[in-house]
Structure 1
Amino acid sequence: MAYSGDPVLVEDLLFRPVHSLIDQSLHSRMGATTTNGDGFGIGWYGEGPKPAVFKCIEPAWNERNLREIASQIRTPLLFAHIRASTGTAVQRSNCHPFRHENWMWMHNGAVHGFHVMKRTLAMAVDPSLYDGIEGSTDSEMLFFLALTFGLTDDPFTAVAKAVGFVEDVGARRGVENPMQGTIATTDGISVWIFRYSTERQTRSLFYSADITAVRAQHPEVEVLYRLGDDTRFVVSEPLRDLEGAWLEVPESSAGIIRGREEQFRAFEPVSPVRST
């Protein structure tokens, strides 16, 4: 889940919605697994330009420290992620979101065949960035490939090149359908989102409609009046059932959300020079 808008208590974002991310950690309706108990992480922007992160290998539903800090943190931009490992170790450094300077990154999905591609992918990461990799996941490797290909200057092109590189390497290693997933990344101001898989059957991703329109459609829902007009959510699953409140991100597409504005475009991987 990603939230941007007026500063709000993390507790209100993580625990209060009917189908909150905490509820989804036990009862996912659309995910690859019903239970996501291999750790969690939150990242938020506060007083400084760089985000803070809190990660833990405990299940999100069972971590008392998360509820403690969530009741005290107020932020205009939150990333939150619950993890179900796709083969790498359950350890703190493998929990999302991942951070580099003022950027954060989350990935829901997998780089299939990662174990046979890992060395080639790692060798493509810019040497000046490599020591920033803390864990062993495909998701963090994808983040650092995107950084290598220019994420901080042009996120759309950088992610297209990172995914293109993964598919190129997968083709050479005989990996079928190497890329699967939805991605969210932010510089603390804008949120870029991507939905793509090699087989064009990508995991679910939604973003919230303009909240003023949702309020007009559902005047009986009190919580909507506690959220600012610039409120936007990006979620793997809707947080509650409200007709017209959630819009599905189209298959093979990418978008940028900034306040009440959003722009979407078709997403196609690009084969970077580095992959030849």
Structure 2
Amino acid sequence: MCRWAAYLGPEVFLEDIVAAPCHSLIAQSHHALEAKSPTNGDGFGVAWYGARPEPGLYRDILPAWSDPNLKSLCRQIRSGLFLAHVRAATGGATSRMNCHPFVSGRWSFMHNGQIGGFERVRRGLENSISDALYDQREGTTDSELFFLMMLQEGLAEDPQGASERATVRVLEACRRAGLEPALKLTAAFSDGETLYAIRYSTDAHAPTLYAGSFRGSGGRCLVSEPFDREGPNWQPIPPSSFVTMTTDAMTIRPFEPEAPAVASAPRQRIPA
């Protein structure tokens, strides 16, 4: 499984999360502590927001620990909102187009997990998206396709509802193919203003997700693994959760793809 980290708050250098901490994302790329495999060497990527609506994007197939360009960029780029990812491939070739994050317009998306039996349901899921969205598909991963399905389901207007509807479509496609649904979905995505995340699995082993404050900046992070295990400020996000993070607060709601997307759910609000 992959490892990722996302940040929202006052501008910081990307290296403050990607490279500098003792258990930074680059450290996790070769020695993850809470993943099935400790090595995540099948490429990396960073999407960051600046003065323009759409994010900047840098991806490559080298292991994150061996790319000097990544370290140099992270040392120079400051951003108040960015997503960073190191990949352990569960499907799809090791290619730049298969590296996360994926970008469409102002949206960025990254994923830790997989659609079990993807090759059995891939064609039907691809056929379910519009021609315009299909034309944006550059790689072959289940993660990129899920992102496009979220856009198809109205991500811009209803992020949680779109995510739940896309998830339902995956589960239904698996059942039609005679498969027991096996979806692992720990993902982060953003429109450049708000940071969203999902922690969900059809079994009892959803990939890990933590939220925490970033010392010194007043910002917040969502991460696969804490990058500073000395501090007590990391909060595990429960399975079957949808996280909405703004500069003011973080809200955690139940993520219930089997239930109607319009159903209301109690909110848990965590002040900034």
TM > 0.5: yes
Report how far residue 241 of structure 1 moved.
1.2
1:118 aligns with 2:106: no
1:240 aligns with 2:204: no
SS of 2:76's partner is: coil
Q: Deviations over 1:66-105 (max 9, x none)?
A: 1111111111111000000002100000000000000000
CA contact (8 A) 1:42 1:78 kept: yes
1:263 aligns with 2:267: no
Counterparts of 1:270 and 1:131, CA distance in 2: 29
Bigger Cα displacement from structure 2, 18-27 vs 66-75? 66-75
Q: Deviations over 1:224-262 (max 9, x none)?
A: 3xx322x00000001111353100111111110101401
Structure richer in helix, relative to its length: 1
Q: Deviations over 1:41-69 (max 9, x none)?
A: 00001121110100000000000111111
Report how far residue 265 of structure 1 moved.
0.9
- Equivalent residue in structure 2 for 1:64, among 59, 68, 81: 68
- TM-score between the two structures when normalised by the length of structure 2: 0.91
Q: Deviations over 1:172-202 (max 9, x none)?
A: 1122232112011100111111010111320
1:86 aligns with 2:90: yes
Q: Deviations over 1:206-228 (max 9, x none)?
A: 0114x6xxxxxxxxxxxx3xx32
Counterparts of 1:244 and 1:188, CA distance in 2: 28
Q: AA paired with 2:185?
A: G
SS of 2:160's partner is: helix
- TM-score between the two structures when normalised by the length of structure 1: 0.90
Counterparts of 1:34 and 1:257, CA distance in 2: 28
Unaligned runs of at least 5 residues, structure 1? 212-223
Q: AA paired with 1:165?
A: R
CA contact (8 A) 2:17 2:227 kept: no
Report how far residue 270 of structure 1 moved.
4.5
Query: What is the total number of aligned residue pairs between the two structures?
Result: 257
Counterparts of 2:102 and 2:170, CA distance in 1: 19
**1:249 matched residue in structure 2:** 237
1:131 aligns with 2:135: yes
CA contact (8 A) 1:161 1:271 kept: no
CA contact (8 A) 1:55 1:96 kept: yes
**2:38 matched residue in structure 1:** 34
CA contact (8 A) 1:8 1:75 kept: yes
Counterparts of 2:200 and 2:130, CA distance in 1: 24
Runs of 4+ in structure 1 off by over 3 angstroms are none
Counterparts of 1:53 and 1:244, CA distance in 2: 32
